[in-house]
Amino acid sequence: MTPLILTPGDVTLRDLAMIYRTGCPVELHRNARPAVEAAAAAIDAVAAGDLAVYGVNTGFGKLASMRIAQADTATLQRNLILSHCCGVGAAILPRHTRLMMVLKLLSLGRGASGVRWALIELLEKMLARGVTPMVPVQGSVGASGDLAPLAHMTAVLIGEGEAEVDGRILPGAEALAAVGLAPMPLGPKEGLAFINGTQFSTAFALAGLFDGWAAAQAALVTSALSTDAIMGSTAPLHPDIHALRGHAGQIEAAACLRALLDGSEIRESHRDGDTRVQDPYCIRCQPQVTGAAMDVMRQAARTLEIEANAATDNPLVLTQAGLIVSGGNFHAEPVGFAADMIALALAEVGAIAQRRVALMVDPTLSHDLPPFLTPRPGLNSGLMIAEVTTAALMSENKHIAMPCVTDSTPTSANQEDHVSMAAHGAVRLGRMIENLHVILGVEAVAAAQGIDFRAPLRTSTPLQAVVARLRQDVATLGDDRYLAPDLAAAARLIGSGELATASGLPLPEVWG
């Protein structure tokens, strides 16, 4: 596969989404090399001199006042990596690890870290040849950088730790050798440059953004199905209503719903003579809720795009100014805020979807649909407990969505006395999205069932295509059957994007 060429400082969300989705190899544009080598030369000069510079010839954290002899600088960096490999828990998925590796390349490629170009090339080759470090999911507090997970990643470069190659988990040195690579010893500051940074948190936040946005797209489709299933009104989708408020996400969501429902015989059948004046909020306010969630996710996306292109280690080499400056770019507070924003959006998309499921199974609210959407209620319970499952997952997501960034705690003998908890905030997004896939999958099953009951009236052409795709995997529910496989199949269709794309209509994108 031809590598995707990335220019540090100028990488887009589209690029990052492609890397996350496809696992494609990447290379930095070679015009980044001069700045990288200039910063490395500046570090070498300091290492050979008498000036004390943090992380080059001093200890780390609370031990920064301890001077390290020039002969021990390589040992200092190796010890740093080994001592910081303290992650616990299950290994993260390869797609998250690979995205984290790419983000580290982008940070080092800004030419402010002081690492040799050869290390950048080794990381590129690991990506190209499928060497994926085994990185435990737990251990980072999001400052000073994602130390433990990045140490596990870096350990493989020096022949330590473990990595997956061709489905086998091997010791680091063996993994490199299996694809014709060799470990590299670290020079002055290089270990610190690799583990000071926000790349673990940012990778998981980006994954949550991309998968969460796809779920929001699916929610637009399932909510349109639900609207037709309960014979809801499209009047609240009138474009002038949304233009008068002015929020971009709301305007886009309403336009998308109008397109999805356009031409529905079900809708046309009750334009006149419908005694209902207004639908419940979960139908009437879909653009205001899902659209607001889209806006929030786009705000988070802007933050994460900036962070993906940032130099986030410490100290930073300012070659043009001739300075090496200690700062705090490793603090993942922006990523923590972005992850919390995404979590709130996901929780709300799920909350309003769950209310639509509850609406459809309730005969007092569903406009003449049978109780729990079963043709023979009483003998059969239909989707009664499927709705309960969505309530459980909705509640779980609301709990998980509580802010993480406010939960600081001092570490490292109070030297690192405020941390972001961005890693927690970003990792939990995956669990929330899995829950949301089930909620939306159940909504699709319920709405398709409701639309079937409206026959011979037909829904719109785009929504007919969506129902047809669902029916390939989930049959119409007659008498009660073992439902767990159906719910799992529907959730897979949501997660893969197949159900949303079946409509054939363009859906809003996170990059606008």
Distance CA 348, CA 342 (A): 10
Q: Pick left, alpha or beta for residue 161 (phi over 0 → left; psi -120 to 50 → alpha; otherwise beta).
A: left
Distance CA 463, CA 423 (A): 39
Q: What is the pLDDT of residue 335?
A: 97
Nearest residue to 221 via CA among 485, 447, 477: 447
Residue 493, token pair as written in the block: 């269709």
Buried b (16+ CB within 10 A) or exposed e, 201-219: bbbbbbbbbbbbbbbbbbb
Distance CA 255, CA 287 (A): 9
Which amino acid, 203? A
Q: Give the gyration radius of the chain's Cα atoms.
A: 26
Q: What is the pLDDT of residue 308?
A: 98
Distance CA 509, CA 512 (A): 5
The set of catalytic residues is 54
- What is the pLDDT tens value at each position of the chain, 512 positions in all? 789 999 999 999 999 999 999 999 999 999 999 999 999 999 999 888 888 888 788 877 667 677 888 888 889 899 999 999 999 999 999 999 999 999 999 999 999 999 999 999 999 999 999 999 999 999 999 988 899 999 999 999 999 999 999 999 999 999 999 999 999 999 999 999 999 999 999 999 999 999 999 999 999 999 999 999 999 999 999 999 999 999 999 999 999 999 999 999 999 988 877 777 799 999 999 999 999 999 999 999 999 999 999 999 999 999 999 999 999 999 999 999 999 999 999 999 999 999 999 999 999 999 999 999 999 999 999 999 999 999 999 999 999 999 999 998 888 777 777 889 999 999 999 999 999 999 999 999 999 999 999 999 999 999 999 999 999 999 999 999 999 999 999 999 999 999 999 999 999 999 97
- Residue 198 is given by DSSP the state S
Instruction: Burial-class residue 194 by CB neighbours within 10 Å (0-12, 13-18, 19+).
Output: buried
| Cβ-contact 185, 155 below 8 angstroms | no
Distance CA 151, CA 203 (A): 15
Distance CA 166, CA 237 (A): 51
Sign of the dihedral defined by the CA atoms of residues 250, 254, 255, 260, in that order: positive
Q: Bridge partners of 4?
A: 26
Q: What is the pLDDT of residue 48?
A: 85
* H helix intervals, 230-332: 239-245, 248-261, 265-269, 281-284, 286-308
Q: What is the pLDDT of residue 62?
A: 67
Residue 345, token pair as written in the block: 């959006």
Q: What is the pLDDT of residue 70?
A: 81
| Cβ-contact 430, 368 below 8 angstroms | no
User: Does the pTM exceed 0.85?
Assistant: yes
Give the per-residue SS3 of 324-386.
Answer: EECCCCCCCHHHHHHHHHHHHHHHHHHHHHHHHHHHHHCCCCCCCCCHHHCCCECCECCCHHH
